[in-house]
Structure 1
Amino acid sequence: MAENAVNETERMTITRVFDAPRELVWKAWTDPKYVMQWWGPKDFTAPVCKIDFRVGGKALFCMKSPDGQECWNGIEYIEIVPYEKIVSLMYFADAEGNKIDPAQVGYEHEVVEEAYDVTLFEDLGDGKTKLTFIGNEPMKDAAESGQLEGWKEIFEKVADVVAGLVRAK
């Protein structure tokens, strides 16, 4: 598997090529039992992951830091093209999934309001898949806030999950 590639364009963009068929990468990205294994940066856990994976559906995730601090995120799915594309809106949430002000959890600024995350799954042939995540925050802001580093760490965890799915196949 290739290292994470980071695109320095306006929006945070991270790309990784996996030695796995697109269906397995999609499964790792969308199935709650696998998402719980990678949601959050290195050393974080995901004790809660509920996904209603359909257009208009919502997801609720809890990311728990090594010191026990919980951070909740909600996602609303805007567009789903099976095995190709997911467009979603991520936001800070409370434990019930209600949108909250990021200042309530210690963030000074919110990502661009109503800017969507886009996740692309590209079949490269020969059992390889390119996963591209285009975040809702400008690259400069993502680097300064730590979001970029967090997503790089998440992609490492996704790679471990995908590798496990390949081995199990």
Structure 2
Amino acid sequence: MFKRNKKTASKSSPTQGAQKGLHMTRIFKAPPELLFDIFTQGEHMPNWRGPRGCKTSVISQTLQPGGSILYTQETPNGGVMWGKFNYREIEAPHRFIYTNCFSDAEGNRIRAPFSKDWPLEILNTITFEPHEHGTKLILHGAPEEANKAERRVFEALMDNVRQGMNETFQLLDEYLERVQQKP
């Protein structure tokens, strides 16, 4: 596990061209500590991880640099996709860096079911900054070690990814509201 307010990180460096990619910023009405916990602790994931209508289940999680979370998403029509986050850096409650990929049931990285040229891994950096209305979340995601075809597909589908993340953030807003209303 990691210790709050103590940097626990492995060295990682974004690949060349990492400044390209998906950039999103959103303000959440929650303190950074709560938002960080909800974003990183697997027991919260089924309550907000989108898309809407999908059922997310966490299979396993080791929240530390070098650890991972393995999860499934079941669609309303019964289809199941597996995914995995591999944690690189965790600095609670300020930032975490991880790669995400599609996987099989054993956690082995596989190609996306929708495109043979979707990048095998996306490197994500999420930062949580105090804001007068709660927390400013900044997300940056870009293909890691991708070839030209994979970068092209990522760029071509970036609007779809952004739309999906916006829906996930809406679900997160709803979950945060429920969590903060509990006595």
TM-score (ref. length: structure 1): 0.82
Residue in structure 2 matched with residue 26 of structure 1 by the alignment: 36
- RMSD between aligned alpha carbons? 2.1
**Identical-pair percentage:** 24
The count of corresponding residues between Structure 1 and Structure 2 is 156
Counterpart-to-counterpart distance in 2, 1:166 and 1:64? 27
1:79-102 deviation per Cα after TM superposition (whole angstroms, max 9, x unaligned): 111101111011110011111122
The letter for the 1-side match of 2:114 is: G
Residue in structure 1 matched with residue 177 of structure 2 by the alignment: 163
CA distance 1:28–1:49, change in 2 (3 Å): farther
Counterpart-to-counterpart distance in 2, 1:49 and 1:37? 15
Residue in structure 1 matched with residue 117 of structure 2 by the alignment: 109
**1:114 shift after superposition:** 5.5
The letter for the 2-side match of 1:38 is: W
- Residue 138 (structure 2) aligned to one of 123, 132, 140: 132
Residue in structure 2 matched with residue 143 of structure 1 by the alignment: 158
1:107-148 deviation per Cα after TM superposition (whole angstroms, max 9, x unaligned): 23223x5651111111124x610112212257743435x222
TM-score (ref. length: structure 2): 0.76
SS in 2 for 1:32: coil
**1:154 shift after superposition:** 0.7
**Runs of 5+ in structure 1 lacking a partner?**
1-8
SS in 2 for 1:33: coil
